[in-house]
Every structure is written in C-alpha cells, then in structure tokens.
Amino acid sequence: MKIELKGHSFEDAVRQILQLFFDINSEFDVITELDIEENIYIAKAKITLGTKQAEGEIKERFSSPDKRQISDLIKKSVFFACRKLSDMPAPWGISTGIRPAKTARMMLDEDKNDSEILRYMQEEFFITPQKAQLSLDVAKKEFGLLKNRVENGVGLYIGIPFCPTRCSYCSFISQATAHNQKFVQPYVEALLKEIEETARMAEDLGFKAETIYFGGGTPTTLSPENLNILIKKVKKSFDVSSLKEFTVEAGRPDTFSDEMLGVLAENKVNRISINPQTMNQKTLDRIGRKHSVEETIRAFEMTKKYDCFSINADLIAGLPGESIEDFQRTVSDVCELSPHAVTVHTMYLKRAARLIDDFEKLRFADNMDKMVQYSYDFLTEKGYNPYYMYKQKNTLGNLENVGFSFEGYESLYNIYIMEEIQTILAMGGGASTKMVKGDRIERVFNPKEAADYINRIDEIIDKKRKALEFLR
C-alpha cells in the first residue's frame, strides 16, 4: 500500500478510515490532498485498487480550524472514496475512537437536546441513526451515574492472570493454571506485597476506594483460601468506607464452587461476572473453553441462591463457526437465566482479517453488524438498557462492545474506566494503573508474565511510587 499526502500530514487519519474497509496489506495506492482557498478547506482522496479507482471530495468553511477538524475533513474525503469501492458496513462512519459515547455525553454537558445530538453525530461523523441512538442512550445513563462520584474516590483493580485453559482467541497473556501451578503461590505473595504498598501510597494521597474489580484471567481459578486472603488484604489495607461496588470476575463456569461463593459473600462482593460467551457446546469445544453449557447453567443456579450478588453475563458475537442463528439462540438462552446485566463483545477480527479473502471479510463484518444489532433489539425489548460501550481500535467493521443492564445494575467501574474520569490503581500482572488529574492522564504498566511480575515486584512497586507523584 502506498499513501501519498499532499498539503497535510494526517497519515494516521487516512489509515484509520482505510482499515474500516480493507486489509491494510492490500495492494492499493492512495493520494490525499488538502487545498485551502480563502477560508474554504477542500480535501480530496483518490484510491486505486487493482483496476478499480474511486475519488472522494469534501469542502468546508472554517475560520481557524483546529487539528481535529482538519483530520476529520481528510477522513471524510477518504471515507467517500472507500464507500464507492467497498460494501463493508461502516456504521460508525468516520468515528474511529474507542469511546463512541463521549461526543454525546459532552453535548449533554452542554445542554444540547436529543435531536441536536443525533443530527450532529449523523451529519458530522456519518454514524448511522441506530448507532447514534445507542451512543445517546449510553451517554444519558453515564450522565446520571457520573454525578454521584465519591470525592477523592478511586477504582482498585486486582489482576489474576490465570485461567483453567487458554481460549483460542485470547489476547491477554493469561496462563493456563495446569501448566503454571508453580507460579500461583509466589504470585499471590508478590501481589499481597503490591497491595500493601499501593494502599500506603493511596492513604498518603487521601484516596478512598469507590469500586474494586478482581479481573484477569479468571480470579476464581485461585483456591477459595487464596482468594479470601487477597480480598481481606485489600479491604484491610485500603480505605473502603465509601465502597459502592465490588466485582469479581468468575468468568469460567467450571471454577464455581459453594466454598468460593461463600468466600465472596462473606467478603461482601456484590457483583459477579459469569461469562458463558456462547451457549453452543460445539463452539465452546472449538474455542478451547473446556466447560459445558450445563456448567454455565449450574453456575447461575448456584450464584442465585445468594441474594447478595448481581450477575453480569459476558457474550461474544462472531465466535469462529457461529451463525447469526447460533448467536441469537445464545442471547435468548442467557436471558432465560435472568442475569442483571449482559455484556456483548464483538470478536476481535484483526488477526482473522489477514487470513480470509475479501468476500469472507465482508460476510464476517456484515454478520457481526447484524448480530450486534440483534442483541441491542432483543435485550432492550427485555428491559435491559445499554449503559457503557467501547470499541476496539483498527478492527474490521469497527464494531462496538456494549454493556446492558437492568435499571440500577450498571457497573460503575466499567463506566469510570471508560470515561477516564477517575484514577484506577491497578495491581498484579498485566495491570495498568491510570492516573487522572484534571484533563491529564498518565499510565504505568506492570509486566504481563507472572514469572516476570514475581521476580520484579520490588522494582514494580518503586516504579509505581514514582509515577504516583504525578497526582500530587
């Protein structure tokens, strides 16, 4: 691929749009050009793909445009040209950011009404009416929930990078416990140390934990004893007097036991995520999850015996070999289990995109778009509301992941992390601490591999201590 820029340097913007429609490794030439005549800015794009050629052009009047406005203008010209060459659904138009509800929320902050917001999203970004409505729905939920934040509140994230087996599509560095048993105990010891030291830093900064999230990996892969020790350590070390939400991801239904649930209940965990991903046994076997649909159903039944947990269920649209009908069955079967919240993820297609031809890609993306729309229609009909959303960057179709919940069962942690309005102190392998100070954000990352994390724990704590100086 050859990209030529004339009169501007927004190559990233050009690439972001091309990636919505084509494999970036395809043989094509792109020429984009920006001309300015008085206050009229004219962006032109010409794409040559084999024997096919298409052009796009747009003019807008600006008095003194900022970088984002120019970048959007370039994107629009490339988008018009791509549209002529490809049928790929691009329901988010030129909106390629990972937080698609942010524009709608900022407009709510400015007291804009619904029709102004919907019109702006469709006209400025070429977002379809359905996706614009979804953004507005999510933004309104967030708008209400973000008002009641705890002063000096932070989120705590504890990462447990172990799983019973490794799923074929896993993009985390999660280790199957069967092969890594020897790391588990030293990992817990190192994590206890990081929790204690991070709590000292938090106390020094006057932070109060508003949410706690045990994620991974699969935290419930740990023994109930280890889980109990870790949870108690967190609750004893941090100021949890303002704690509103405590989530533990119990992603794999095959890690459920009465003992584990008893530990979570005793420690006042109030949100559990059970992740069926699909209710189709053939798919579960194909993707290496090594648990059965019956185990998923049993996990729900066991959890529901306790009335202290709200349950979230994670699903994935576009799992290998699944038809739209398979996905539809999964959505309705999961709803039968009455979770309080359902999160629908879209399959990460970047890797798959290289391996399949153009027709397959189109079918893939089109099916995904239909699955995602189906989940929205079905779940909202059942009384679930979309409350948080994010997109994976640079993926075919550029589709969204959406959290739905019954009223009052929204996850604050998910909203806060997505909106980047609160510091997240993260502990454990692969955890990333996000420090928010006004409009500025800094991050510090822990190593992903368990062995690396264990061996470098003192250095990790030191690095975090220095990084947190940013918040003073």
| Residue 8 interacts with ligand SF4 (CB under 6 A): yes or no | no
Positions 244 through 273 that interact with ligand SF4 (CB under 6 A): 251-252
| Contacts of 151 by beta carbon, 8 Å cutoff, 6+ apart | 208
Our CB check for ligand SF4 shows the closer of 94 and 287 to be 287
Instruction: Select the residue interacting with ligand SF4 from 120, 172, 378, 470 (CB under 6 A).
Output: 172
User: Cα(88)–Cα(84) distance, rounded to whole angstroms?
Assistant: 10
Shortest spacing between CB 177 and ligand SF4, in angstroms: 10
By CB under 6 A, the count of residues binding ligand SF4 is: 11
Our CB check for ligand SF4 shows the closer of 16 and 218 to be 218
| Residue 155 interacts with ligand SF4 (CB under 6 A): yes or no | no
Shortest spacing between CB 320 and ligand SF4, in angstroms: 13
Burial class of 258 by CB neighbour count within 10 A (0 to 12, 13 to 18, 19+): exposed
| Residue 218 interacts with ligand SF4 (CB under 6 A): yes or no | yes
Our CB check for ligand SF4 shows the closer of 397 and 430 to be 430
| Residue 163 interacts with ligand SF4 (CB under 6 A): yes or no | yes
Positions 34 through 53 that interact with ligand SF4 (CB under 6 A): none
Our CB check for ligand SF4 shows the closer of 135 and 296 to be 296
DSSP β-ladder status, 400-405 and 341-346: antiparallel
Q: Which span (43-51, 194-202, 216-224, 324-332) binds ligand SF4, by CB under 6 A?
A: 216-224
Shortest spacing between CB 88 and ligand SF4, in angstroms: 26
Instruction: Select the residue interacting with ligand SF4 from 93, 159, 217, 219 (CB under 6 A).
Output: 217
| Residue 167 interacts with ligand SF4 (CB under 6 A): yes or no | yes
Instruction: Select the residue interacting with ligand SF4 from 3, 54, 170, 293 (CB under 6 A).
Output: 170
Instruction: Select the residue interacting with ligand SF4 from 95, 103, 174, 385 (CB under 6 A).
Output: 174
Q: Which span (77-85, 162-170, 301-309, 346-354) binds ligand SF4, by CB under 6 A?
A: 162-170
Interaction site with ligand SF4 (CB under 6 A): 163, 166-167, 170, 172, 174, 216-218, 251-252
